[in-house]
Amino acid sequence: MLNLKRLAIPFVVISLAHILAFVISIYLLLPLQAQYTPELAPYASLLFLPHGVRILSAWLMGWWSIPLFAPTALFWHWINFGVDGFTLVGIIGVFSGIVCATLTFWALSLVGMDFRLSAARKANWRDVMLAGCIASTINTFGMGWAFEHNLATLVGYFVGDVTGLFACMFLLMLFFKATR
């Protein structure tokens, strides 16, 4: 049976983390990046922190991360593109990012690489980074297919996703170290 109380705290944490990651990536880092890489599309962040939130959410919440992540992903899509962004292609682009993370962890578990936490399995940052790189590849192809971006933009997406995941994991490591 669905326990909404059990999902309330993860929803709030994921939503706040996603909002914070998006604000930092889009409103702080992207303008700085535009000064140094003007040839790169103005929306391909080379340090895209929301991918880190997406991967960590999928790793910890599994399939539940999709409905927990979707509201803020759709909100940010609306902030960036307005109502005009809600075309079929726009929605495919949004859900490419949301689903790629969960799909990657699921597919890896099918081939014997189940990275989920359990009593017998501890967290391993290499596993999460591997899944994040694979998910970024899926997302990059999805975005390329949906929006017909050039190769430089697709490379920017991939680099931004991977560095964003690494930065999120590094910040979490520092946070957990400081709270010990």
Query: pLDDT of 87-106, one tens digit each?
Result: 988 888 888 888 999 999 99
What is the phi-psi region of residue 82: left when phi exceeds 0, alpha when psi lies from -120 to 50, beta otherwise?
A: left
Looking at residue 89, what is its pLDDT? Answer: 84
Looking at residue 85, what is its pLDDT? Answer: 85
Distance in angstroms (rounded) separating the CA atoms of residues 168 and 180: 18
Nearest to 167 by CA among 14, 29, 9: 29
Confidence of residue 39 (pLDDT cuts 50, 70, 90): confident
- Burial label for 138, CB within 10 Å (0-12, 13-18, 19+), is middle
Query: pLDDT of 67-85, one tens digit each?
Result: 999 999 999 989 988 999 8
Q: What is the pLDDT of the chain when averaged over all its residues?
A: 89
Strand, coil or helix: what is 121?
Answer: coil
Distance in angstroms (rounded) separating the CA atoms of residues 69 and 11: 8
